[in-house]
Amino acid sequence: VKKNTIKDIGEFGLIARIRRRYARSSDLALCGIGDDAASLRSPPRGHPTLVTTDILVEDVHFTRSHTTPYLLGIKSLAVNLSDIAAMGGIPRFFLLSLGVPQELSLAFIDRFYDGVAKLAETYDVLLVGGDLTAAPSFTINGVLIGDCPPNQVVYRKGAQPGDTVFVTGPVGDSALGLEILRQRGLKPRDFNAYGEATGRDKELLRLIRHHLAPEPPVLKGRKIAELRCATAMIDISDGLMADLGHIMEESHVGASVRVDQIPRSEAFQKWASLYHPQPLDLALGGGEDYQLLFTAPGKALQQAIADGRESDFPFFPIGKITPHSGKLSLITEDDRPYSPSCHGYDHFRPPAGGFHA
């Protein structure tokens, strides 16, 4: 008989399949998938271990009809990679637990793990375990373990008045991608089995892909950690304003941001006003861009430039840290205050009538 669904092979059959196809051997893992616990080599003495976990739930964080299994697999690891990156860390080991509806096809699971494995390979991360359970909707919980050289971890606390606020790249693409996805929907041939945009509307599909399968800022995070001048850092998952708010709260400072300085992609500038009445608010409030937001003293930046390292510092200054604890000022090009229509995403206080994908 042909085996098409999870039911046909069962829990242990599925674990064996995942192990066979996606487990890699490595000097770092003495034992990965297949025993009661993974046995992992510890980082060298003095290197802190970093651990993060994230949960994605069908119809809360994504809908199956508006993504592909491969892109969902990429996102499942990417969101965790982004958290390790935001500490300046090096990702190493991934554990992936799934709640799976019984009718889900094996093909869906295979393509999903192909996406996970592809991103794991790109960033040299090992899949070393997980768990499986039946569930009414597809539920994904990842745990990512990494480490960091001594004194390079960057926390949310530590921003000082006078520091410059930087962002590592354009923001707003993910929120715009989600808006396009909501309005346009997804067609069967928009992406192939390996996540490449194959449909027409290439520019729109790239924005949608940015939302469905973000690129985690792992290399940028390491670069910032190695420069050793960042005083605070966070990844932009809830939105620029909300995440800068987290730095302000942990550092007991305020910030003032020049909204015209916030980098936006060419595609964003071309398409945003067609899909949203206030494009700037997509960049300020929209989440899931997975760029890094960090603070550094101007002096440290000048030093990096004086040392001829400026090519290693390709980041965008967007504002300053102020002593006014908890106060975020948004300022326009002509020095007027700007008030946005939204403030970032909070799962327990979703916007009226809205949903989060």
The reply on whether position 35 binds ligand ADP by CB under 6 A is yes
- Please say which residue, 81 or 98, places its beta carbon nearer to ligand ADP: 98
Burial class (CB in 10 A: 0-12, 13-18, 19+), 142: buried
Q: Look at phi and psi of residue 278 and say left if phi exceeds 0, alpha if psi is from -120 to 50, else beta.
A: beta
Instruction: Please give the residue ranges that form the binding site for Mg ion (CB under 5 A).
Output: 131
Which tokens belong to 341? 């229509």
Q: How many residues bind ligand ADP (CB under 6 A)?
A: 14
**How many CB atoms neighbour CB 282 within 10 A?**
27
Range in contact with ligand ADP (rule: CB under 6 A) among 32-40, 181-189, 246-254, 289-297 = 32-40
Closest to Mg ion by CB, 94 or 275: 94
Structure tokens of 288? Answer: 């899931």
Residue selected from 6, 18, 259, 280 as contacting ligand ADP according to rule CB under 6 A: 18
Tell me the window of 59-67, 79-87, 125-133, 192-200 that interacts with ligand ADP (CB under 6 A): 125-133
260-274 burial, b at 16+ Cβ within 10 Å, e below that, comes to eebbbbebbeebbee
CA distance linking residue 28 with residue 26, whole number of Å: 5
- Exactly one of 8, 124, 131, 196 binds ligand ADP (CB under 6 A); that residue is 131
> Rounded to the nearest whole angstrom, what is the least distance from the CB of residue 115 to Mg ion in the complex?
23
Shortest Å, Cβ 99 to Mg ion: 12
Interacting residue with ligand ADP among 109, 119, 120, 132 (CB under 6 A): 132
Do the Cβ atoms of 295 and 247 come closer than 8 Å? yes
Q: Is residue 125 within 8 Å of 117, Cβ to Cβ? A: no
Q: Closest distance between Mg ion and the C-beta of residue 35, in Å? A: 11
CB-nearer residue toward Mg ion: 34 or 298: 34
Supply φ then ψ for residue 214, to 5 degrees. Answer: -65, 155
Task: Pick between residue 15 and residue 56 the one whose CB is nearest to Mg ion.
Answer: 15
